[in-house]
């Protein structure tokens, strides 16, 4: 099947990963642990840390019997040249990853950066440019240095604004003229769903070591979120001053914008609107430059307004996003009668009966390509900013068949259906910078910390028990994505 060629000549077809899910080398060349290093999956586990009453700080406390796969991940830190060469064989025009803050400022509060960390990203970014790939860089993909939580409480502490400003300034200076597309905080709108990972905030001091460590008040999280907003605006200011050609994007998890009311009951329709506003708050502040009225009502009625320092609101107003980067995987259903699942998995117990295709077991995310078109149109209507799909993909538990091949037709179909709807959205008038497949190479799942949830066009021989050769193997979808890129989205025919 072919689409009318609606993609602009310079459309950025690419792939996306995150340092903590791909690099490994978690303590190499001076790096110290970040938040993700204390977790096996950001969704379903408590961090492996404990409270040190005597020193009044949190400490790493990794259980010996648990496999922290992200500590080695797929060893991209040592294999990135060969991996990027493979990506270039597909014809990727752009490659997104994060710079691990803890490689540059291991504790996060140092005055001077760790040169070995910078040297790694020099090599990585130069390799991407050598293969004519646009680097698309996230400054923190859930990767706040652990010491900033352990000794400062994380982003509820205003000092982190200064630490992040120091980090961002070093990075913009180092890579000006090389990196055009930046984002600060990955899926910042997950701050309330996953405060420890997405907002880098922790109960501090721990009032009761037995209490779940992320039991934070709404006020504590709004305070952390406000500091993240200010840090993002400052970083945007720094970036503009350093490289006028660079662009800063807000980055949100926007599967949650494809939230459908379960029926035409006005309570469910308005409830879905309110649920979506949990995400819209972040893009509203970062794209429009001010706090919307609906959040001020929540602050009034629940007494959870953040402390806002003089000058903060002016910063937010003056330094807004140049584009909207977002992840889209699935849609979700809202009902006032149901608890909403944490992972934007919709209303517990209420699936969408009109979506017959689902991701494979055990994840079962509903497959809803039209939901992508819906989200793109809503974002364009609301902000009229360029859009950048920086995560879309399908995780499958798969491996080589008896012929040593991986015929991942399901993945090709998911890709085809979402490109078709993206083409529709472009014809609807959406301005789209590019499309980055999440996980062009198998990496460690963020949500579950597993290897078996494989997104890649390239298979990596590594398994949940930590075993494997780390060898790479092209899946059938590798040539399929190459065909799509070679024809600029025109030929979507699946031949396997
Ligand atoms: C997003 C994260 C990515 C990625 C993706 C897929 O929320 O930004 O890090 O992991 O989810 O999720 P998972 O890996 O859990 O399948």
- Minimal-distance CA residue to ligand 1 atom 3: 446
How confident is the model at residue 346, as a pLDDT?
Answer: 67
Residues 477-482 have a mean pLDDT of 98
pLDDT in tens, 378-407: 999 999 999 999 999 999 999 999 999 999
- Minimal-distance CA residue to ligand 1 atom 7: 253
User: How many angstroms separate the CA atoms of 87 and 482, rounded?
Assistant: 9
Q: Residue 447 CA: which ligand 1 atom is closest?
A: 15
Residue 342 confidence class, pLDDT cut points 50, 70, 90: low
- Minimal-distance CA residue to ligand 1 atom 2: 446
pLDDT in tens, 125-164: 999 999 999 999 999 999 999 999 999 999 999 999 999 9
Dist. CA 309 → ligand 1 center (Å): 34
User: How many Cβ atoms from other residues are within 10 Å of residue 122's Cβ?
Assistant: 14
In our burial notation (b when 16+ CB lie closer than 10 A, e otherwise), range 27-47 reads eeeebbbbbbbbbbbbbeeeb
Q: Residue 393 CA: which ligand 1 atom is closest?
A: 6
| Top-confidence residue, 253 or 338 | 253
SS3 of 363, please? coil
Binding site membership of 327 for ligand 1 (Cβ less than 6 Å):
yes
304 pLDDT more than 70: yes
Residues 224-251 have a mean pLDDT of 98
Q: Give every CB contact of residue 261 below 8 A, 6+ residues apart in sequence.
A: 268, 269, 271, 272, 333, 334, 335
Q: Which residues of 49-103 form beta strands (DSSP E)?
A: 49-52, 57-60, 94-98
Binding site membership of 468 for ligand 1 (Cβ less than 6 Å):
no
User: How many angstroms separate the CA atoms of 366 and 358, rounded?
Assistant: 4
Dist. CA 266 → ligand 1 center (Å): 32
Q: At CA 101, angle to CA 21 and CA 395, rounded to 5? A: 15
Dist. CA 44 → ligand 1 center (Å): 13
Binding site membership of 149 for ligand 1 (Cβ less than 6 Å):
no
**CATH code that applies to domain 12-486:** 3.20.20.80
CA dist list (Å): 91 to 14, 131, 375: 8, 9, 27
Binding site membership of 226 for ligand 1 (Cβ less than 6 Å):
no
262 pLDDT more than 50: yes
Q: Residue 455 CA: which ligand 1 atom is closest?
A: 16
DSSP string of 294-313, one letter each residue: HHHHHHHHHT-PPP--TTHH
How confident is the model at residue 2, as a pLDDT?
Answer: 45
Dist. CA 150 → ligand 1 center (Å): 25
Residues 471-480 have a mean pLDDT of 98
Binding site membership of 446 for ligand 1 (Cβ less than 6 Å):
yes
Judge whether 101 and 167 are in contact, CB under 8 Å.
yes
Percent of the chain with pLDDT over 70: 96
Residue 1 confidence class, pLDDT cut points 50, 70, 90: very low
- Minimal-distance CA residue to ligand 1 atom 15: 447
Percent of the chain with pLDDT over 90: 90
Kindly report the average pLDDT of the chain as a whole number: 95
Binding site membership of 321 for ligand 1 (Cβ less than 6 Å):
no
How confident is the model at residue 364, as a pLDDT?
Answer: 87
pLDDT in tens, 417-474: 999 999 999 999 999 999 999 999 999 999 999 999 999 999 999 999 999 999 999 9
Instruction: Say which range, 212-216, 221-225, 395-399, 492-496, has the weakest mean pLDDT.
Output: 212-216
Residue 42 confidence class, pLDDT cut points 50, 70, 90: confident
In the chain, domain spans: 12-486
Dist. CA 65 → ligand 1 center (Å): 25
pLDDT in tens, 277-288: 999 999 999 999
Residue 3 confidence class, pLDDT cut points 50, 70, 90: low
Residue 33 confidence class, pLDDT cut points 50, 70, 90: very high
Residues 85-98 have a mean pLDDT of 98
**Active site members:** 187, 391
Dist. CA 411 → ligand 1 center (Å): 16
How confident is the model at residue 207, as a pLDDT?
Answer: 77
343 pLDDT more than 60: no
């Amino acid at each position: 099947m072919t689409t009318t060629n609606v993609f602009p000549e310079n459309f950025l077809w690419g792939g996306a990963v995150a340092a903590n899910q791909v690099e490994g080398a978690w303590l190499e060349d001076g790096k110290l642990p970040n938040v993700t290093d204390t977790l096996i999956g950001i969704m379903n586990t408590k961090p492996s840390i404990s409270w040190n009453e005597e020193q009044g700080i949190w400490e790493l406390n990794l259980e010996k019997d648990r496999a922290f796969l992200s500590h080695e991940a797929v060893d991209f830190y040592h294999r990135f040249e060969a991996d990027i060469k493979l990506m270039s064989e597909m014809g990727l025009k752009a490659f997104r990853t994060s710079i691990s803050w803890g490689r540059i400022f291991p504790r996060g509060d140092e005055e001077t950066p760790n040169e070995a960390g910078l040297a790694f990203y020099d090599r990585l970014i130069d390799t991407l440019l050598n293969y004519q790939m646009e680097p698309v860089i996230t400054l923190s993909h859930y990767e706040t240095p652990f010491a900033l939580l352990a000794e400062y409480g994380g982003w509820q502490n205003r000092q982190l604004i200064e630490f992040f400003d120091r980090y961002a300034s070093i990075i913009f200076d180092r890579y000006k003229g090389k990196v055009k597309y930046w984002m600060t905080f990955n899926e910042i709108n997950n701050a309330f769903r996953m405060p420890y990972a997405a907002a880098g905030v922790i109960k501090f001091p721990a009032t009761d070591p037995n209490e779940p460590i992320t039991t934070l008040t709404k006020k504590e999280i709004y305070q952390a979120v406000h500091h993240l907003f200010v840090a993002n605006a400052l970083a945007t200011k720094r970036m503009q001053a350093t490289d006028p050609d660079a662009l800063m994007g807000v980055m949100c998890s926007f599967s949650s914008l494809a939230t459908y009311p379960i029926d035409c009951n006005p309570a469910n329709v308005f409830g879905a609107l309110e649920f979506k506003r949990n995400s819209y708050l972040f893009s509203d502040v970062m794209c429009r430059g001010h706090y919307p009225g609906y959040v001020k009502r929540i602050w009034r009625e629940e007494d959870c307004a953040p402390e806002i320092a003089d000058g903060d609101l002016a910063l937010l107003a003056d330094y807004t996003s140049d584009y909207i980067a977002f992840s889209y995987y699935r849609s979700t259903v809202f009902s006032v009668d149901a608890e909403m699942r944490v992972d934007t998995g919709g209303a517990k117990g209420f699936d969408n009966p009109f979506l017959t295709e689902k991701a494979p077991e055990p994840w079962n995310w509903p497959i809803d390509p039209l939901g992508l078109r819906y989200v793109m149109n809503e974002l364009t209507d609301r902000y009229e900013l360029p859009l950048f799909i920086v995560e879309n993909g399908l995780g499958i538990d798969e491996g080589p068949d008896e012929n040593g091949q991986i015929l991942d037709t399901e993945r090709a179909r998911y890709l085809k259906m979402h490109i078709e709807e993206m083409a529709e959205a472009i014809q609807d008038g959406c301005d789209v910078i590019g499309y980055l497949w999440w996980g062009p190479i198998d990496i460690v799942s963020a949500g579950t910390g597993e290897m078996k949830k494989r997104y890649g066009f390239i298979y990596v021989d590594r398994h949940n028990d930590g075993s494997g050769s780390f060898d790479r193997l092209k899946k059938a979808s590798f040539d399929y994505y190459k065909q799509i890129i070679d024809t600029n989205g025109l030929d979507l025919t699946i031949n396997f």
